Amino acid sequence: MISGHDLVLVVAGDAGPVVRGFLDGWAARWPQMRVAAGAEAVNGFGSWPERAAQVPAGTGEVLVARDTAMESGWDDRGYAPDRRGEGPFALYYRPLTRLTTEVMAHQDPYERTGFRFDPYPMVLAGPGMSLLTLVAPEPDGDFTKALLAALVSSVPGPPLGDAR
């Protein structure tokens, strides 16, 4: 059953280390976390961090469940959240091979206040970016927001507000 919602991020560099760092942090919330990664994504789940070495660099697919009960119910219930409001999720990533990609800015990237803002197209430009897709239970739920916040915080870079 496919019932998840895609959230696509464009990150600088290889997304594989971002995914590993995210899962290392998420394991504190889900100590019995079950992961299927790389070739194992087809063959079965294992515990984290034992599966960390199987999260590939460059291009990858990672399936994540809180525990064996969530893992075994995935085929029947898909990404639907359980009574705790949590559900399984997946991460898919690969290098962005285009040097430019047009996106739509729905928030003012200059963060100006006091001005009216209308969405407008922008162009992401440069080599070495990756697409990282989070497939989560629901688009606007608290669990999905927590997943996205943890994933974004795993992306390396200068501290927010650094003008470099």
**Residues 43, 58 contacting (CB under 8 angstroms):** no
Gap between the Cα atoms of 96 and 131, Å rounded: 6
Burial 18-50 (b: 16+ CB within 10 A, else e): bbbbbbeebbeebeebbbbbbebbeeebeebee
Return the pLDDT at 113. 87
Q: Name the DSSP letter for residue 49.
A: T
Return the pLDDT at 163. 46
Low-confidence ranges of the chain (pLDDT < 50): 163-164
C-alpha pair distances (Å), 27 with each of 49, 77, 92: 8, 22, 18
Helix (H) or strand (E) holding 29: helix 15-29
Return the pLDDT at 72. 92
**Residues 20, 50 contacting (CB under 8 angstroms):** no
Which sign, positive or negative, has the C-alpha torsion 4, 81, 152, 113?
positive
The answer to pTM > 0.75 is yes
Gap between the Cα atoms of 143 and 85, Å rounded: 7
Helix (H) or strand (E) holding 71: helix 68-77
Return the pLDDT at 39. 64
Return the pLDDT at 93. 97
